[in-house]
A and B are shown apart, each in its own frame.
Chain A
Amino acid sequence: MAQTAELFRPTSIDRLAEMLRTASDDGRSVGIRGAGSKETWGGVGAPVDAVLSTRGLDRIVEHAAGDLVITVEAGVALADVQRTVAAAGQWLALDPPEPGATVGGVVATAASGPRRLRYGTPRDLLIGITVVLADGTVAKSGGKVVKNVAGYDLGKLFTGSFGTLGVIAECTFRLHPRQPALRAVSTPTHDPAERFAEVLATGGEPAAAEWDGTTLTTVFESIEAAADEQAERAILAIGGQLSDAVPPGFGARPWDATSVGLKVTHRLGATSDAIAAVRSATPNARLRVAAGSGVVLAGVGADDLGALDSLRKSIAALDGQVVVASAPEEAKRDVDVWGPVRGLPVMQRIKEQFDPDGRMCPGRFVVQP
């Protein structure tokens, strides 16, 4: 984003709307920023005239503990949501690792962590949304009840849209009861897919499983007796060390701000093939494999991006896609960050309906401004 962009920090949705209305009248392009924990994600943004910080939208609007629902403004940190609902023995079942990340940023980037295995990703837990469009129009869809099919689900479209359809101003989420016990089984293996299948064959239902290149960590979360028994059965099946905490680095991204992160998806039955393809294209990749979820995260160097096309070819054969999830700007300037996109013309038409002047977060996503 351009250094000279003005920074706005509205403290209410009304003010946010007015700010966007004015920006619209002036024809100014707008970037959106939460905690800034994922600035290296997505496409290289074009320079913008104004940057909108959501940090002033910091109210926890309502925690309906008995209904397992929370409504928060977009600038609230996910960690603050977790602190708020923990008092009621609940949690918002999203565990992306970026420190300080705001709810709005997590939803806008569809960020997920290892517990997606059991709970899914932001799209699965978001039940209502208030958005502000480029021209300042404020609209909501969904509601405050989990089960609701009235009207189109704008929350789905805005989840993972990288700000290109408008600003996510407020979100309502379904919460889950926090399980009292955690048991992690760490098993050294070179074949995580096979080991994980053996765990599932025991009838256990892990909340998460992650392989870091040498060790498969399988996490059970339940009431104490059931977490114990599932872990014991897993150890009987595949061996490993038992712990009541996840190992250090569990769920961390295998990249940092200066390296390149690839997100490789694949059909669930092709985990081994996907790992082999990544290792063959980028032999020095650091891996985080969400076993059972169909996602391989790889940390590589900028030089490795030369192998992107050939990796995309092998991954396409596994029904998957390769995205440059995170990279320094200079590393991805000449790279197709997203790769081929199925249904792109329809997405472009959606973009043109919501932001006809192409002023919202230009360049950050698959669509043209």
Chain B
Amino acid sequence: MSEPLIYDLSAPGRPGVPLPAPDVPAAGLPKGLVRKDLPLPELSEIDVVRHFVRLSQLNHSIDTGFYPLGSCTMKYNPKVNEDAARLPGFAFSHPLQDPETAQGNLALMYSLQEWLCEIGGFAGISLQPAAGAHGELTGILIIRAYHQARGDARRTKILIPNSAHGTNPATTAMSGMQVVELPSDARGNVDLAALRAACDDTVAGLMLTNPNTLGLFEEHVQEVVEQIHACGGLVYGDGANMNALLGVVRPGDLGIDVMHYNLHKTFSTPHGGGGPGSGPVGVCEKLVDFLPGPIVEVIEAGDEDEAPLFGLVMPAQSIGRVKAFHGHFGMLVRAYTYIRMQGKAGMRAIADHAVLNANYVRARLRGTYHVPYDRICMHEFVAEGRWAEAPDIRALDVAKRLMDFGFHPPTNYFPLIVHEALMIEPTESESKQVLDAFAEVMLRIAEEARTNPDILHSAPHVTPVGRLDEVKAAKDLVLCCRPAELGEPAKRG
């Protein structure tokens, strides 16, 4: 039985949340501007609670099971983070109140800026971007502004390896720049010969995901960075895969000029079913003045008795604001809490166990699933969900069958350079027991692919709904429901 829509639970006149009676005289309502009808549902609180609790129960989540979704870093979201972000001084402070009355918030943001700069090897950072893609846009606009400020308007090309996330080319187009795609070599690295051929004085920069989307550390990263710098370009680092690098190598030390972090991947802030995320952008010294603002700075140094005075400052040649106010502050509180609890030693431990877990699962599956670039991986690896002996089976079938065993499927059909890709990222949160149970199920599914392919084709069997008709969804385009007339169900349209 599917859960009714919120409008189907509504009854005319049912009282909802009570509010205080007016304690001031009523003013005349604005003439000609008052709406006639407000088509919202009418429910009692218990209806609302049951409805949304029942909906929640239809989800797979990190809190209910293993979630090895490659490139998403579905690590444990600590509960203390949630309590921290809800402390009244954080949750109920106003973004435009006098900074002198928000020194706790600014101190927290300042520490986080310092820590993220240290972890990534950057000279400056802006906490404003709201998500990874937003950070990318910020970073490419910074690269553009840097070249423009030098009077070098010829540089309009951004080089992007073909293994990159789709956000990289989309971001480049949004920034008014041109995309030049680079092929990968036989070991999954950027093809150096193609890179050399593409480098000239029209190159603004390169977007590099390292570890790349195959989960491999770019073996020629230093040559790639040198090539780009030699032709006058800058290197943008996609920090989506930063979890593997914590305490292992700082992207800034590799010569990356600008990079976004995903606090909702690397630093444990929850994904929320698709956000809010947070995508701070770190830069090298020569780009600091171009960061979006405001940035938190020390306005008056402190001493033993007096805390420093923090303020909000707009960098001199800033690309401008990328959103209202100061970024996703609630996410910043969570990331601060996480880094503080992990500390210096914890950073390296996160990477070590994330990388160990990925390699362990790879080692357990590699004889059964083809791993196209089979070498020591970083935090994730890509296997193929296809076998010559099971010609009708696709990665999608493996993914759907995994659901029957209570596992969330890996990312599938990405990266595009691998056929029938299954991209597996266990994260450091998972124990050997969980990984073993997952590996056993993966091996069993591979066996079923040969012996009982139908059970894969018809999977999943135990989920609230079966495979859904995506063609119908795109054709009918039922994207909302309208309130019911009396006695009628809610209308779609």
A and B are partners in one complex rather than unrelated chains: no
